[in-house]
Amino acid sequence: MGDAVVEAVDPYIRNRAPRSDEDLSRRIFCGALSWLTTDDDLQEYFKAYGNVNSVLVMKDRETGQSRGFGFVEFSDADSVNTVLKSGPHKVNDRIIDIKRSLQQSEAPPSIHKSSTPPVPKSKLGMPPPPPLPSVSFKIFVGNLSPLTSVSSLKSHFSQFGPCTATLQPSTNSSPPSAYVQFPSPHPSILNTLHIINDKEVAVSHVPTSVSSTSSTVLAKREYVPRV
């Protein structure tokens, strides 16, 4: 990435004692992570640049899923400089974004919500706004093996998070298919090779406004078997 490095705020220093400039000079922000990337993955990759003191992939408090970014702290600031001057950096087949980690007081506004809870409008004489609808994520899974069951579908896709699965019966013109739904978005699923019951399957996102019939047709058009 060269010397022109964009610096990023370090969210997990909130509610902790301010860190010295020396501490922060040994830490980097890692963005654009794969949803599957873990602390161990970052530790394994960055140990080539020096001794790694700690690694933290930030996760959603409610779902426990990765938020797509994290932090790595080295024992020596020279390791950070080496990382920033090298690259691109690729972890789990994905190029990640590396930046310096800054003290919160010196950085742009925090990406976190305020630690002081907002006053509900109902207490100010106004009704509170309606809650936002939950955003689910539904995929169509085609080209399934006749041996595939709901259990095997859930066993495979649960690596991305809690899910439900519904099998669609096969016809004379098409193999079995299924729908799998998650309580929150998991776009990395669409960029992953999926093999269930020793067979590569086709995976496509099903928009909420698309009927099951049209999404089935769309998925079949998108699927290109590997040669």
pLDDT for the residue numbered 5: 40
**Are 19 and 102 members of one domain?**
yes
pLDDT for the residue numbered 227: 39
Instruction: Provide φ and ψ at 149, rounded to 5°.
Output: -120, 170
pLDDT for the residue numbered 192: 81
Question: How many domains does one find in the chain?
Answer: 2
Amino acid at 66: S
Q: Which of 89, 106, 123 is the last residue of a domain?
A: 106
Sign of the Cα pseudo-torsion (214, 215, 216, 221, in order): positive
| CA distance linking residue 224 with residue 202, whole number of Å | 8
Q: Other CB atoms closer than 10 Å to residue 176's CB: what's the count?
A: 19
**Are 11 and 102 members of one domain?**
yes
| CA distance linking residue 103 with residue 12, whole number of Å | 10
pLDDT for the residue numbered 213: 44
What 3-state class would DSSP assign to 74? Answer: strand
For the chain, the farthest-separated pair of C-alpha atoms sits apart, in whole angstroms, at: 68
**Are 33 and 98 members of one domain?**
yes
**Are 100 and 34 members of one domain?**
yes
Let me know if residue 112 belongs to a domain.
Answer: no
Let me know if residue 128 belongs to a domain.
Answer: no
Sign of the Cα pseudo-torsion (18, 22, 26, 31, in order): positive
DSSP secondary structure code for residue 35 in this structure: T
**Are 71 and 13 members of one domain?**
yes
Tokens of 93: 């087949």
The predicted model scores a pTM of 0.41
**Are 12 and 61 members of one domain?**
yes
Number of H helices, E strands in the chain: 5, 12
pLDDT for the residue numbered 180: 92
pLDDT along the chain (227 residues), means of 10: 42 46 81 90 95 91 86 93 91 90 46 47 56 72 88 88 86 82 82 85 77 42 41
| CA distance linking residue 70 with residue 55, whole number of Å | 8
* CATH number for 191: 3.30.70.330
H or E, element range at 66: strand 66-74
Structural domain containing residue 27: 7-106
**Are 149 and 211 members of one domain?**
yes
Let me know if residue 114 belongs to a domain.
Answer: no
